[in-house]
Amino acid sequence: MSDDARPLIATAVRNVLEEVPALKPLKLVFGIDMRGRGDVQMFRVELPGIEVTKDIATDARIRVDMQRAFFNSMVEHEAKVADWREAFMYGQAKATGNPQFLKLIATVVEKQEERNRLRKSRS
């Protein structure tokens, strides 16, 4: 189960970074806790460079918690940033940690979504 999780996490992070390029230079370590079938798998993700390891991530500034099945379906359907944002809004995924980092990421994502909307309206 965890053998295929690392590449899926890397793919999900890479997709988000491609959609929101302003996050690419961000130096951040965050932990991902995936719950499923009675256990919790913990992963450590380090940016930039997208290094994913199976670890507790004691140095993580942000922790993301979600169901493993939900994560798999999001990656399978190639979820966009708007889909991830909706997941966090409705509680399918939860992010905790340093409020300044959480606010920074939310602000950068909002500005990118505004830019995308402006490009669509001009076309």
How many percent of the chain have pLDDT more than 90? 73
Topology (CATH level 3) of domain 5-122: Nonspecific Lipid-transfer Protein; Chain A (3.30.1050)
Mean pLDDT, rounded, of the chain: 90
> pLDDT category, 123, cuts 50, 70, 90?
low
| Average of per-residue pLDDT across 11-40 | 92
For 27, how many CA atoms within 13 A lie in the half-sphere containing its CB? 1
Report domain extents, the chain.
5-122
Using CA atoms in the order 53, 58, 60, 62, what is the torsion angle rounded to 10 degrees? 110
| pLDDT confidence of residue 118 | 79
Q: Are 44 and 5 in contact (CB under 8 A)?
A: no
